Amino acid sequence: MREIALVYLDRSGGLQKFVHDCKKYNDSNQSYAVYRFIISINPSDIAELDATLGNYILHNPIQAAQIFQSVCFIAIKTLSLIEQLQTEAQISILLKPTHLPPLPSYVLSLSAFPFNYTSQRFYMSEGIAIAMGTVTKYTQGARFLCTEETCPFSEGRFRYIRVHMPGATESATVRNDFVCSLCSSPLQEDMKFRVLGDKQIVEMIDAKVLNALKGYSSDKSHFRIQTLTVFLR
């Protein structure tokens, strides 16, 4: 699947964009713990190249991103795109589909029951934004070092990298109870390598609420409308 991912990136122009993004990182004077890349993908085109990879991206996007992560790491090392990069764990890949199959199973309906949305895959959802919070910062990635000075992981290495994953809370990325796997000493964040991003909270409600507000009658004697909280990162 790595070979197919590389072929798709080359044919779709994604590889050229990736090289351009790497150049911006390489030319920057700032040090990064995590290098974040957004890769646009067309599920239909990938499925034509390889159905297995196409289905994997649609239904296991987090695991599929690891395939592209491996491909991008090899490309960076082979072409010497980012001199500061040390480990594959420093690469964060966000797969951004151009569209999803027009099938009911890919639509996240706020009015359907039961809610069988247990898998961490892509869904489409439409609704009305009824409230929006201010844009705040969150930690996309951070580097930790061992506090034991005699430990090999106390300096200079990117052994402990924490990267924000979809659906995770802030404490899953940054907190003070991580320990070294080698000597069991506490880990401390190296603040100069923290990577920040923007996030915004939106309250969304199903578009069917408009019918209720207009006073349209319903076959059901009563119903309830529930909002959904969306985190935009």
Q: What is the pLDDT of residues 25-45, one digit of tens each?
A: 999 878 788 999 999 999 999
Residue 207 lies in a domain: no
Residue 227 lies in a domain: no
Residue 33 lies in a domain: yes
Q: Is the dihedral of CA 78, 80, 82, 84 positive or negative?
A: positive
- For residue 217, what pLDDT is reported? 56
- For residue 40, what pLDDT is reported? 94
Do both 17 and 98 map to the same domain?
Answer: yes
Tell me whether strands 91-97 and 35-41 are parallel, antiparallel or unpaired. parallel
Do both 23 and 93 map to the same domain?
Answer: yes
* CA gap 85, 74 in Å, rounded: 11
* CA gap 33, 198 in Å, rounded: 17
Do both 71 and 145 map to the same domain?
Answer: no
Chain segment 179-208, per-residue pLDDT in tens: 999 999 999 999 888 899 999 999 998 887
CATH number at residue 53: 3.30.1640
- For residue 150, what pLDDT is reported? 92
Residue 220 pLDDT class (50, 70, 90 cuts): low
Residue 223 lies in a domain: no
- For residue 25, what pLDDT is reported? 92
Residue 146 lies in a domain: yes
pLDDT at 113 over 60: no
Do both 150 and 98 map to the same domain?
Answer: no
Domain that holds residue 149: 137-196
Tell me whether strands 136-146 and 228-232 are parallel, antiparallel or unpaired. unpaired
CB 117 within 8 A of CB 53: no
Do both 95 and 152 map to the same domain?
Answer: no
- For residue 105, what pLDDT is reported? 83
Q: Which of 161, 185, 182, 191 is nearest to 173 (CA)?
A: 161
pLDDT at 223 over 80: no
Coil, helix or strand at residue 148: coil
Chain segment 56-96, per-residue pLDDT in tens: 999 999 999 999 999 999 999 999 999 889 899 999 999 99
Residue 181 lies in a domain: yes
Do both 1 and 99 map to the same domain?
Answer: yes
- For residue 97, what pLDDT is reported? 94
pLDDT at 1 over 80: yes
Residue 143 lies in a domain: yes
Chain segment 70-81, per-residue pLDDT in tens: 999 999 999 999
The residue out of 88, 105, 122 marking a domain boundary is: 105
Residue 222 pLDDT class (50, 70, 90 cuts): low
Residue 201 lies in a domain: no
Chain segment 120-174, per-residue pLDDT in tens: 888 888 889 999 999 999 999 999 999 999 999 998 778 899 999 888 888 888 9
Number of domains present in the structure of the chain:
2
